[in-house]
Structure 1
Amino acid sequence: MATVQPHVLLIDSYDSFAFNLAALVKKAIPDCTLHVIKNDSHTIQELLPSLSKFSAIVVGPGPGSPDIPTDIGVVCDIWKVANENLVPTFGVCLGQQSLGVENGATIHRLGTVKHGQVSVVKHTGTEIFAGLPDLKVVRYHSLHIRPKAGGEIEELAWSEDEDNGTIVMGVRHLSKPFWAVQYHPESILTDEGGLGIFRNFWKLASDWNTINRPHFRPQATLELSKSHVWPRVSKPYSANAANKTLGKVTFSTMEVPGLSVLRLCEFLGVNDESKRFVFLDSAAHPGQFSMIGCLNDDTAQFTHFVHENHIEESNAHSKVRHELGNKDVWTFFDEYREARKVVGGDRTVPFWGGFAGYLTYEAGFPPLGAGLKREDGHTAINHPDFNMVWVDRSIIVDIQNDKMWIQSLLPNDDAWIQETAQQISELPKGEIPVPTVAQGSSPVSFPDPEQYKTDVKRCQEFLFSGDSYELCLTGQTHITVPKEKTVPTWERYKILRGVNAAPHAGYLRLQPTTFLSCSPERFLSYSRSPGAVCELRPIKGTVRKMPHITREIAEEMLAGSRKEIAENLMIVDLIRHDLHNAVGENVVCSKFCGVEEYETLWQLVSVIEGSLPKDTPEDVDDSLGWEVLRRGLPPGSMTGAPKKRSVEILYNLEGFERGPYSGVFGYWCAGGGGDWSVTIRSVFLHDSEKNGDERWYVGAGGAITALSEPESELEETRVKLNGVLLGFGASS
């Protein structure tokens, strides 16, 4: 007889690390079926009929406090069920605090909060700590418990903090099968206190079940409403069968030594400000491929505001409104690409044609479940949340190897390819002149510095109260260009590129938005199926390049900084969670906090990769990148963690919508791959502000932690603004 798999329940308290915990549970209990619910999705009365069918329960971490009902939800009731409904339960962070509070412990704030901090934990060597050495673990908490003397909670582990004294790090209930730890066993930097702890818990749970539930047997299936089984492998959005009549990419290659990609853009019509244009520009190391969309009057453009239930498709001749009905915007784009999927391009080329454009920061609110208050009339700055074109004709330039691909998705388009290749071969070689701008020609309106420093302190209050571990606070700067000093936006981009070249730059003119970017940060790239791999590269930690800042000094300032490492660690753990949510268990951190050199900055960069199991059907694999993008927005490096609570705090604290800033821009190839950059070091203009004085928007900010100093955070925003402002003859 086949062995029936045990069922484990994971209760998620809206944390951004819950699926890291899920992956750890599956590693410790490989044959289990893991069910996930939110802490407010069920009352205890709704759960009780199913509770006793589980072999174990894991209570995940989360923001807030165990004594606030909306923060803790049903968790507080799990500890109080009658003996006949008892299930072995393990709590993490907020879970330990809740177990303690419900059994007489008192809750206290730490004198010095521990967010993304590594500590040594000592323990009794018993129960969940049996057979383990002293541990190095990651902590994300500002609250802690003090068990009641002579009560039911026994201390098993502790840390000796220089700044906080002795802090309880692990406990058990003396008469019930409950255990918990204060630290985060699922963090990338937690050692044997992760997997070892869960293996011990599972042994204790199994032994307790054998003795105290002698007639308990796991069921073959267990249905629980408002839950899902993890891993929840991505499925194709399209309700239609996979496209069986795939189109073909037609392309021609040519060597182009000495040809300026800027000259190529001008040959392709970028100087006509009335026309749409897409240029994704690898303007600096380590960028390699630049992409130009060869748009025409028939090119389809798609715009969408997330508070509306339709998408507008337009070209130079017409507009069509697509009602979404019960379909979401992500499904619409997936089905559109699926119907136009192609094969046959050069697989070394990352883009054959397909979607290109940007998504705003607020585009990530609906999938995250974050509220967005909008009146009719859209946002304050009226930039669509989704603004993309479908690129049928494109040119890709390998700037490192002086090679070019001229490509088309259109049938029988060889004549255009050949004619374009001939014309390009006749273009002059060499760089083109880059215009300059007079200093002081554009007045700049900065965020109020005293208010920004006050907001840093307000952020820290949320960190001290346990509502967040890190908040990426931003401010909005306005640059006004007087009418008599305006220059074409393409000229402005060339100026900006000249003073602040970056590997993920871009010039997008997609009415009503003109978007200039010198972003150094890739958010997400994904390869084509089969075997699609998603890679995310968060940047947290920045030092401006100066003659005396060598690599060694930069590494000491970044990789040697406890604050910078803590910021990066939190985002790495958050991104691992987002990837685990989409792909399941196969997530690795291939680089942690490496210092990378860019044109004007030193940056602290980590690399996280994820992929689906090898036996995944190709149609599922092919939509993976789009699914990861949906589940990963807004970028964690621009929000903080836990993401949902942090986004909501920042939305109220900042008092404005970020729009394109803090979102992403890039492409999704018709062949399946994609590349999206974080919209930082970027500036954007609405068509309505072109006639007369131009008003450009640029955002900047930084990750606020408990270790942040308001004046230093303000200075960091100035460093980040400076490269953009130089393109307008200004500085910070």
Structure 2
Amino acid sequence: MAIGNPRLLLVDSYDSFTFNLASLCKQCIPNCTIYIVKNDRFSMPEIAPLLSSFSAVIVGPGPGSPENDHDVGVIKDLWNIPEKSTLPIFGVCLGLQSLGVAYGAQLKRLDVVKHGQISQIHHTGVELFHGVGRVEAVRYHSLHVALANGGDVEELAWADDGAENGRVVMAIRHASRPYWAVQYHPESVCTRGGGLEVIQNFWRLAQAWSIKTRRQIQPWNTNLENMLGKPWQSYPLASPVRPTLSQSRPSVATQVCELPTVTAATVSELFGVRNEASPFVLLDSAAQPGRFSIIASLMPTSLQITHFAGDDFLTLTWSIHSRQERMGPGRDVWTWIASFMAGKRVHDGHPDIPFWGGLVGVLSYELGVRSLDVAFNKETHVRRHPDLNLVFVERSVVIDSATGRVFVQSIIPNDDPWISDTVSMLTEASPTEVLPILRPELSPLSPVVALPDKSRYIARIHEAKERIFAGDSYELCLTARTSISVPKSKSLPASLSTSWDRYQGLRSKNPAPYSAYIRLHPTTLLSSSPERFLSTSRPPNPIFQLRPIKGTVRKAPGITRAVAEEALIGSIKEVAENLMIVDLIRHDLHAVVGEDVQVKQFCGVEEYETVWQLVSVIEGTFKPGTSGASDSDTQLGWEMLRTSLPPGSMTGAPKKRSIEILQTLEDQDRSIYSGVFGYWCLGGGSDWSVTIRSCFKFEDRSNAASEDCNSFENWHIGAGGAITALSDPEAEWEEMITKLKSVVGAFGA
């Protein structure tokens, strides 16, 4: 007799694939409810009484070693609970290793690490593998177990790594207790044959054992709910904070023009981009597959919102006014912004464009770090650039490069005169043919470029690889900062923007689909990013899409698509890097939307203006009726952004442990670099790009001693690469230098 409505307890070891495993269990075990707890949340005396209310326990994967109590927490005790409290347990990766070590297995390092690599799994065809045929499974491990001869744990499956590692245990069972485990990752998107089928077999074995032993599952009660929290399906949105500003519901007034020769640069010039003292934002689709460019027409009254991670307040600035807004107990910047936007929702903008008005700006890498409860590195943390720097856009122009249409729009009531004047201005400025942009001559003096120290960077790569070999991470995205000091041109007025001309040079040398010129004091960002991070379609039923890039081949004579595909798809290292981030992103999406997550494209080679890139596309859909989907659906994109920062393609996996390691390997905060920039539309959609191939500067206009009040402009560029067990340090250094070239070249260096 089957167990109806089973309850599972999933023990999470701070992994970045946990929700993928939860989703797989939901597919395999009908009507199951899953509660997820961190491995250090409860001690064994605290968790033991709870186990009688669960049908089974799933011990998930995670970084570290089963011999390190900090890494496994309560897991080490689960395998030795009193016989009267025994219940079925299934372990994955670290779960298998901890089970093996608990019963006498020897823990060893692999000679050749297997992270994001696919192996054929040989098996006995019984128990977990009953009725299972060929298994090709993804492995994420640098440690493995050698079982004790004649011990309580028996082998069910293995991989033959030949000369690399020999025979490696891939699945085990306990001889007398209902414990099973696999070393590979059944939840990975590229596991075939050993995922769904094996979890189904575990559940069949678990039910049979429970029926045979007449195990009685205790009823659920509210005390358990209070201790464990809500079950997994999705995380409902946080309770909204009462908006502190206007609750009016604006309408969007729009006029559409056919102006195929009007460019984003033309509109920006007309909107005063050259006035360095004023804020300005341009999100620029400078190359395919980008399509829409958004230019804000900011006013002195436009609201700028800034926040430093760790503070309990935001700063609101408009006109000559500035005030601090405290968020209140139990609230954070994410809930404050969500509440602010909820009070300004609109529904009537033009359906053909993605942005009607709303927030545009920059979020730092450290803002995402803080959201993961990772403490700042006190030795490197400097409070200069706000970690959240957004401006509320009420007037804007959107250019559709695919159709040549220009949309002039405003959410300010009775703003038709501005719209008409802007349309007239753009019509008069529209040439009959596209003319080259004339830029003023910049300083003839050469910039001074300060690259990272090569020997230090390579030493850090070796340190990163050692942490990977030790099992602490699968992939570490190591970065370093380059600085450029540019002598100012004495022939230019102080108010005239040279940063705009720097941007035009960057755009010319490296046109990118997610380019941007964002000047929100004290930060100026010039971006030629090729990577969209997260886009969210408008409600209802929003679709979240992430497009991670791992793997790049620069265009050159003879580099055809076929050559690029062979170099990228044919590379074990490139595909493994991409796969790790795909699985990480699936986990982040499952955390918010529940089960409906699909990989629409895995490791596709896409052509860009100057490069071929290995791109995957992952989508999640928030289904009607899912907890949290209601009038708050316009906030879902913001919640998804909070959950998925920092970008996994810029951290590695598992994300939290990788960030903690990177803080010991990098000499400075990343700040703007590795964060995201983009918009959140008042209609509920959003689009954010990864801040790479970019540079930024700091300017405190209230301080005469600031960087840009002297005779130099000081710019900063971040660059790096994903370090894996297969990384060659010299090649990684050269890859970083190659990434720097396009940005540094915009300064004439």
What TM-score do you get using the length of structure 1 for normalisation?
Answer: 0.97
1:513 maps to what in 2?
523
1:380 maps to what in 2?
382
> Does 1:420 pair with 2:425?
no
2:249 maps to what in 1?
246
Matches within 5 A, 1:408-487: 408-429=410-431, 430-433=434-437, 435=439, 441-484=446-489
CA shift digits 1:521-549 (9 cap, x unpaired): 00000011001000000000011111121
The letter for the 2-side match of 1:570 is M
The letter for the 2-side match of 1:373 is N
2:361 maps to what in 1?
357
> Does 1:633 pair with 2:645?
yes
1:608 maps to what in 2?
618
The letter for the 2-side match of 1:513 is T
2:703 maps to what in 1?
none
Q: CA deviation at 1:484?
A: 3.9
Distance in structure 2 (CA, Å) of the matches to 1:3 and 1:93:
27
CA shift digits 1:671-724 (9 cap, x unpaired): 100000000000001003112211100010100011110011011111111110
The letter for the 1-side match of 2:728 is E
Runs of 5+ unmatched residues, structure 2: 700-705
Q: CA deviation at 1:412?
A: 1.2
CA shift digits 1:33-65 (9 cap, x unpaired): 100000000001111111111000000000000
> Does 1:670 pair with 2:682?
yes
Q: CA deviation at 1:559?
A: 0.9
Distance in structure 1 (CA, Å) of the matches to 2:18 and 2:132:
24
Distance in structure 2 (CA, Å) of the matches to 1:521 and 1:630:
18
SS at match of 2:747: coil
2:601 maps to what in 1?
591
SS at match of 2:305: strand
Matches within 5 A, 1:130-149: 130-149=130-149
> Does 1:26 pair with 2:23?
no
Matches within 5 A, 1:670-689: 670-687=682-699, 688-689=706-707
Contact 1:10 1:60 in 2 (8 A): yes
Distance in structure 1 (CA, Å) of the matches to 2:94 and 2:229:
21
Given the superposition, is the C-alpha separation of residues 97 and 193 from structure 1 closer, same or farther in structure 2, using an over 3 Å criterion? same
Runs of 5+ unmatched residues, structure 1: none
Distance in structure 2 (CA, Å) of the matches to 1:476 and 1:216:
56
The letter for the 1-side match of 2:665 is L
Distance in structure 2 (CA, Å) of the matches to 1:652 and 1:239:
36
1:492 maps to what in 2?
502
Distance in structure 2 (CA, Å) of the matches to 1:440 and 1:86:
75
Contact 2:262 2:426 in 1 (8 A): no
SS at match of 2:211: helix
> Does 1:651 pair with 2:663?
yes
2:392 maps to what in 1?
390
Given the superposition, is the C-alpha separation of residues 518 and 119 from structure 1 closer, same or farther in structure 2, using an over 3 Å criterion? same
SS at match of 1:247: coil
* Equivalent residue in structure 2 for 1:561, among 556, 571, 576: 571
Contact 2:377 2:663 in 1 (8 A): no
CA shift digits 1:149-173 (9 cap, x unpaired): 1110000000000210000000000
The letter for the 2-side match of 1:319 is S
Contact 1:356 1:390 in 2 (8 A): yes
Contact 1:307 1:374 in 2 (8 A): no
Q: CA deviation at 1:506?
A: 0.2
Contact 2:13 2:38 in 1 (8 A): yes
Aligned length: 726
Distance in structure 1 (CA, Å) of the matches to 2:107 and 2:373:
29
SS at match of 2:14: coil
Distance in structure 2 (CA, Å) of the matches to 1:499 and 1:151:
64
Q: CA deviation at 1:619?
A: 2.1
SS at match of 2:435: coil
Distance in structure 2 (CA, Å) of the matches to 1:123 and 1:234:
41
Distance in structure 1 (CA, Å) of the matches to 2:548 and 2:215:
49
Structure 1 window deviating more from structure 2 (94-103 vs 232-241): it is: 232-241
Distance in structure 2 (CA, Å) of the matches to 1:381 and 1:725:
25
The letter for the 2-side match of 1:5 is N
Distance in structure 1 (CA, Å) of the matches to 2:419 and 2:484:
41
Structure 1 window deviating more from structure 2 (391-400 vs 8-17): it is: 391-400
CA shift digits 1:308-352 (9 cap, x unpaired): 111000012200100112210000100010011111001221000
What TM-score do you get using the length of structure 2 for normalisation?
Answer: 0.94
The letter for the 1-side match of 2:120 is V
2:702 maps to what in 1?
none
Structure 1 window deviating more from structure 2 (527-536 vs 485-494): it is: 485-494
Q: Percent identity at matched positions?
A: 50
Matches within 5 A, 1:97-496: 97-162=97-162, 163-216=164-217, 219=220, 222-223=224-225, 225-235=227-237, 237-239=239-241, 246-326=249-329, 327-374=331-378, 379-380=381-382, 382-429=384-431, 430-433=434-437, 435=439, 441-484=446-489, 488-496=498-506
Distance in structure 2 (CA, Å) of the matches to 1:182 and 1:228:
29
Contact 1:5 1:218 in 2 (8 A): no
SS at match of 1:225: helix
Q: CA deviation at 1:455?
A: 1.0
Q: CA deviation at 1:431?
A: 3.1
**CA RMSD between the two structures:** 1.8
Given the superposition, is the C-alpha separation of residues 682 and 49 from structure 1 closer, same or farther in structure 2, using an over 3 Å criterion? same
Contact 1:5 1:220 in 2 (8 A): no
CA shift digits 1:408-457 (9 cap, x unpaired): 11111111111111111111422342547789821110001111111111
Given the superposition, is the C-alpha separation of residues 329 and 395 from structure 1 closer, same or farther in structure 2, using an over 3 Å criterion? same
Q: CA deviation at 1:147?
A: 1.1
Given the superposition, is the C-alpha separation of residues 236 and 287 from structure 1 closer, same or farther in structure 2, using an over 3 Å criterion? same
Contact 2:234 2:590 in 1 (8 A): no
Distance in structure 1 (CA, Å) of the matches to 2:747 and 2:156:
60
The letter for the 2-side match of 1:445 is A
SS at match of 1:495: helix
